[in-house]
Amino acid sequence: MPTLYGTGIYELGYTGNMGPALDLQRVANQLRGDVLRMVHTAQAGHVAGPLSAGEIYSVLYFGGVVDLAQDKIVLSCGHYCPIMYAALARNGNFPRSELKTFMQAGSRLPGHPERGSLPEVEVSAGPLGQGVSVAVGMALALKIQYGQRSQKTTPRVYCVLSDGEIQEGQVWEAFNTAVRRQLDNLIFILDRNRIQIENYVAQVATYGEVAGRLEAFGLHVLEIEGNRTDKIMEAITQAKEVMGGPVMIVANTVGGKGVSFMENDPSWHDKVPSQDELTKALKELGEKNEQV
């Protein structure tokens, strides 16, 4: 039964199916381990954001709810790219050993995503907000090309963005277009980790209840615990049933999630862990203490 568009904000319930969810949690921590190894090897890169999105990337690439053969996954907050690269490698899109080339001259894994560096990198990103418009353009064009086909068979666009990112005005321009054009093949996932480079988001911008603000723009908002794969699975499943407009999944996450001394600390936005910190972090994640 499709959900009618614009029925409001609500917390998604627990489905009771913990089997695959447990596996996906494990995958999330594996991806986190890869992120930390990559950043440590490169001695550069971002940490807190990619870690907060561990479960989001686990579900997008391994949850079975996204049709990887035809759907598009757009990363708009480009500095999260280590976790995208890790997910692509673990999905078999390129050898995992290549992760160690992250940020090296000539690597296919540049410090911010560049469209075409790998076939699966859909957009160039880094300057925040841009990928949101590009995702809107893709969803719009797919709707044109698939014409009268039902919403269920039209390829979908998933766009990951962050809560620091929505300080960019372009994001809200893009929301206007997505809503006006009724892009129900477009699902945004907002990683609300509450930190940004300089500080806590709340110290920089007064969003209040961000979900209410997004809903006021006409987005169909689902607000969830964003570090639980079962909740993300359920939200995406639900979002795919929404017709008549785009869905915004507000995933409330913890910056630096999974590593106690990195959690909820803006200084870990882009800090490189020392060898000792890496060892300790991998242990907490249940990951082997090895380089990529």
Partner 1 sequence: MSKYSDKYLISEWRTAPKRAIRDGVGEALVKIGEDERVVVLSADLAGSTRVDKFAETFPDRFFELGVAEQNMAGVAAGVAFTGLIPFMASYAAFSPGRNWEQIRISIALSKANVKIIGSHGGVATGKNGPSHQGTEDIALTRVLPNMTVLTPADATQCQTMIEAAYKLVGPVYIRTARPETPNFTKKYDFEIGKIEKYREGRDVTICASGIPVWESLMVAEELAKEGVECEVLNISTIKPLDRETIIESARKTNKVITIEDHQIAGGMGSAIAELLGEEYPVPIKRMGITDKFGLSGEWEEVYKWFGLDRVSLKKAVVDYLHE
Q: Which residues of the shown chain bind partner 1 in the complex (CB under 8 A)?
A: 114-116, 122-127, 129-142, 144-145, 169-170, 173-174, 176-177, 180-181
Task: Write down the least CB distance from residue 270 to partner 1, Å.
Answer: 19
E-strand stretches of the chain:
72-75, 157-162, 186-192, 220-225, 247-252
How far apart are alpha carbons 143 and 155 in whole angstroms? 8
Q: Which is nearer to partner 1, 122 or 234 (CB)?
A: 122
Task: Write down the least CB distance from residue 123 to partner 1, Å.
Answer: 7
Q: Which is nearer to partner 1, 125 or 189 (CB)?
A: 125
How far apart are alpha carbons 196 and 273 in whole angstroms? 18
Task: Write down the least CB distance from residue 197 to partner 1, Å.
Answer: 18
Q: Which is nearer to partner 1, 55 or 184 (CB)?
A: 184
How does DSSP classify residue 143?
H
Nearest by Cα to 141 from 162, 126, 122: 122
Task: Write down the least CB distance from residue 144 to partner 1, Å.
Answer: 7
Nearest by Cα to 160 from 52, 34, 255: 52
Task: Write down the least CB distance from residue 183 to partner 1, Å.
Answer: 11
Q: Which is nearer to partner 1, 122 or 230 (CB)?
A: 122
Q: Which is nearer to partner 1, 158 or 268 (CB)?
A: 158
Q: Which is nearer to partner 1, 36 or 136 (CB)?
A: 136
CB 9 within 8 A of CB 247: no
How far apart are alpha carbons 225 and 135 in whole angstroms? 24
Task: Write down the least CB distance from residue 258 to partner 1, Å.
Answer: 30
CB 216 within 8 A of CB 42: no
CB 6 within 8 A of CB 220: yes
